[in-house]
Amino acid sequence: MRLKELKNITGKIVLKTGLHIGAGSDEIHIGGIDTPVVKDPMTGWPYIPGSSLKGKIRTILEWATTDVVSQGGKARSSTDSHDPIVRIFGNGRNEKDYNGGPTRVSFSDCFMSEDKAKSMIEKGALTEEKIEVLIDRIKGTAISPRRIERVPAGAEFEFSISYKVFDMGDDGEEDEKNFNLLLMGMKLLEFDSLGGSGSRGYGKIKFEDVSVNGENINFEEISVDKDKLNEFVRQ
């Protein structure tokens, strides 16, 4: 096995709706935010952890290409070195007999575009506070109000994803094909959501200015139809 090629996907993640990726909080502040977003400790600006992006793309591809329920709801694992999900994202439970080589993809943390961040600061703030309540469906009254911090729609983050193509006797053809599956996963994410509360409209995103090794690609033309996805289905 040898490394044949490194592909670097870069571009922008543009928020279409507010995004909440929680940082957790051990303190309770009266009148303050109940669930803050994760922030860069150096700048105080919100960011998207690479682990969040990787986890969501992997999850949506697992649902699209396999019966997740039969996997027990756990990250897909296999001894099949040709399983595309495992080759791209890594072996979920470290199967001893797996010989498909190292994880192919690596996601960097996505930091806010500097110009856009400064523009948002000038106009007000980098985050917004959204108050949500539970509704007593019998009485029709609001209960348990909570304050959610979100990054507002229009914010932009710069992303970088590295993908390794290995020659494993097939001259890298299988990894080349699986690279297209990764792009399809990114496209599927645009139809789903990133972060928490997606069912309530949070986390709608769009990938823009996408390039591979510095060359722009037409991301809008990437197909995620059933026939294309079925090429990667493994029983």
Kindly report, residue by residue over 191-231, the tens digit of the pLDDT: 999 998 888 889 999 999 999 999 999 999 888 888 888 87
Amino acid at 3: L
pLDDT at 27 over 50: no
How large is the average pLDDT for residues 74-88? 81
C-alpha distances (whole Å) from 96 to each of 88, 175, 227 are 18, 21, 32
Burial class (CB in 10 A: 0-12, 13-18, 19+), 140: exposed
- Least confident residue range of 86-100, 108-122, 147-161: 86-100
pLDDT level of residue 30 (50, 70, 90 thresholds): very low
Q: Which residue has the higher pLDDT, 182 or 27?
A: 182
pLDDT at 72 over 80: no
Q: Give me the residue label for tokens 């996907």.
A: 9
Could you say which DSSP state residue 38 is in?
P
How large is the average pLDDT for residues 133-159? 81
The answer to whether 127 and 151 have CB atoms below 8 angstroms apart is yes
Could you say which DSSP state residue 152 is in?
P
pLDDT at 68 over 90: no
